Structure 1
């Protein structure tokens, strides 16, 4: 937890310090406890608390008697004091969440990504859906802090531009942040989807957990969010975590990068569906749609919904005990384990969290093989225990993380707030 300062010119920073302290203690804190935890003087805490109470961001939740002296008045976060929107733009589906200050999802919806995948259509869809979500929730629009957008990379965070995501081939240098801000009239933050997912895991964990971990993101594409010392590793251009080209096999289909054995080419939904079709595990009789062409056109957004349906069908085959389906998913688990070991060795991590929009579809069968494949790998250097866990946030993790970024940007204490500018 960051500590405050008693200099008179940094009230905004101290406001964030106090709010962050109260947020992390569900039972509430007294003013004395806040002073002890933050290093602020009792008078500074009293002044900051008064402003937060007036703003409706915290509330007095009763008194507690603890030993001799005056009873302590407890302060708790007011969940409805402000709200944040999160939007995850996936090539197949756009997910929307509305979070209160506790990080509780108070409204949620999804829309298929427009089949034409034109950026202007997506922006218009997002603006309309956001308006409907807020109106349906009954939340006062004046209490909205802004919108966080989680988008596939690579992105230009400084300019708010989506550059050229492989699974959205018709997107090139799209000024998504500005376009959505203009369409909604709200402040907008842009983040890479894997980083947003890692932010969500941090937001909902305490200081004793999720310190050094990788978030393995399994959606239309594959990537890795990285956290070291409870800080998200974004890299020099905020595009860290593009792990799809880690080589995990010596044979197989040639990747778009020109190499053979890239993990993304072996385990993503389109890859698994293609393997199932080529092996005869999935046939036209198994599906309501023709998936043969979709399995071969992995970058075409028009086919992504068919890929999703086919992946569900493949999982259904595995659930029924189909040996071919099980072998495809188990082999994917072994490929994924090799990529995970590379990341564990590179950063000496203690934990890996798995999640993303399609993770739940394949997880039961991947997890039959993956943990043992990681821990028994001859290539694994770490001698400490490795925790392999599934995200408890669910399929909306990137959208939730994008909304958490808005909350974090608004209320988490930042040392940069102390800098004096001319």
Structure 2
């Protein structure tokens, strides 16, 4: 899970090595990851449940869980009394055992979050800007980490696994759409963001495309367990997305599978354009300006939008019409069980977009198409940050979803 177009770099001292043959240390490390991953996926399991689902012996599971509990990675839940015998004690991930930083770099704002071991955001630092520049962002990362670290105890700081960055690739490509001088955006050429951040922080650094990170967060912490195959749309400054097949991210031959923003759709006037030219927040930004409304409030907080009235409704209807076309086209190629829609906006906006998309789909020619269920994402506006913060956790402690869905049960 969580591959980059390329691959995310392994953290120093990662629990599981992937090179070479098998040995006892590697096998135990793998089994420890398997146990923690199963516990995470099911929000708590007893030793008997883990043995049944993993195929490991009861003795092996007991030894592993005792060790993980001793290290503080697992904690005991409330005993569950059955009809016969001793009560079953579910084990859960300890939320305070491990923390990780997640950085979302957007076209108008950046968010740095501290996430715990079960995916809850504990702290956050937010910045807005007219457009992203390397110098500003590198300074923000260093300052933001220092700000959050200052609010942690030394023991808590010692439990930080790393920092995961969710950023658009080829930032220089969107100068016109974000109203930035091309000369400024060209500064991104040749910037190795991962290396630059590694030089400034004391943690392992991982890098992933922002939309892919959001899709991964939805797979792990959102509706993923309910839908083995889904097409994912995240509406940010520019719409992006991802593809999930057999409960795992599918990145494709070149790592660009799920680049839904490039899908061709028709506008109201019948002209064919890319999906991102309609179903992106920068389009709403321009629409607000045309109606004499200051769009800056879009970027202050994704959860605090106001109802902009007519221009917002126009944008929602246009976005829904374009999304409907994209969903039908996608369903014609792969029999997805769901189309998941989320974005950098409040839940009430997401609900309106989803309702409008369901209505727009009914206006299309659906002969021969089995429509997926069109559903709201469950992670919300922080999906990119959460996906980024997941990278260090999966590198050091957990297994990817492909392994989890090979359970025996």
- TM class by shorter-chain length? 0.7 to 0.9
Cα gap change, 1:109 to 1:73, in 2 (>3 Å) = same
Aligned residue runs from structure 1 range 20-99, under 5 A: 20-26=37-43, 28-61=44-77, 63-99=79-115
Q: Distance in 1 between matches of 2:97 and 2:254?
A: 34
Task: Give the alignment partner of residue 134 of structure 2, picking from 96, 104, 119.
Answer: 119
Gaps of 5+ in 1: 1-5, 155-162, 254-258, 292-304, 418-422
| Equivalent residue for 2:388, pick from 398, 402, 411 | 402
Deviations 1:21-72 (A, max 9, x none): 222333x433233222211122211221222122110123465553554554
Cα displacement (A) at 1:126: 1.0
Q: Identify the residue that residue 31 of structure 2 maps to in structure 1.
A: 14
Task: Give the corresponding residue for 1:3.
Answer: none
Q: Which residue number in structure 2 is paired with residue 191 of structure 1?
A: 208
Within 2, Cα distance between the matches of 1:213 and 1:106?
Answer: 29
Q: Which residue of 2 aligns with 1:231?
A: 248
Q: Secondary structure of 1:382's partner?
A: coil
| CA deviation after TM superposition for structure 1 residue 273, in Å | 4.0
What's the offset of the Cα at 1:90? 0.3
More deviation, 118-127/261-270: 261-270
Question: RCO higher in 1 or 2 (8 Å CA, sep ≥ 6)?
Answer: 2
Q: Give the CA deviation at 1:129.
A: 0.4
Contact kept, 8 Å, 1:149 with 1:190, in 2: the verdict is yes
Post-superposition offset of 1:307: 7.4
Unaligned 5+ segments in structure 2 are 1-21, 404-409
1:130: which partner in 2?
145
Q: Relative to structure 2, which stretch is displaced further, 372-381 or 65-74?
A: 65-74
Residue 420 of structure 1 is matched in structure 2 by none
Q: Is the counterpart of residue 247 in structure 1 residue 264 in structure 2?
A: yes
Matches within 5 A, 1:5-404: 8-9=24-25, 10-26=27-43, 28-61=44-77, 63-113=79-129, 115=130, 117-138=132-153, 140-154=156-170, 164-166=172-174, 169-170=185-186, 171-205=188-222, 208-249=225-266, 261-275=273-287, 282-283=291-292, 286-287=293-294, 305=296, 316-318=307-309, 322=310, 326-358=313-345, 362-363=349-350, 365-367=352-354, 369-379=356-366, 381-383=368-370, 386-404=372-390
Where 1:102 maps in the other structure, the secondary structure is: coil
How much does 1:356 deviate?
A: 2.0
CA distance in 1, matches of 2:151, 2:103: 17
* Number of aligned residues: 370
In angstroms, what is the RMSD of aligned CA positions?
A: 3.4
TM-score (norm 2): 0.79
Summarize the Cα distance change of 1:63–1:241 in structure 2 as closer, same or farther, 3 Å threshold: closer
Question: 1:206, 1:245 → 2: CA distance?
Answer: 24
**Counterpart Cα distance in 2 of 1:312 and 1:62:** 35
Contact 2:218 2:224 in 1 (8 A): no
Alignment check: 8 A CA contact 2:37 2:399 kept: yes
Structure 1 residue 151 displacement after superposition:
0.6
The C-alpha deviation readout for 1:51-97, integer Å capped at 9, x for no partner, is 21221101234655535545544432211111121111001111122
Q: TM-score, normalised on structure 1? A: 0.77
Query: Is the Cα–Cα contact under 8 Å of residues 353 and 391 in structure 1 kept in the other structure?
Result: yes
| Distance of 1:184 and 1:70 partners within structure 2 | 49
1:347-372 Cα offsets, whole Å, 9 max, x none, are 22121111121475854654453212
SS in 1 for 2:266: coil
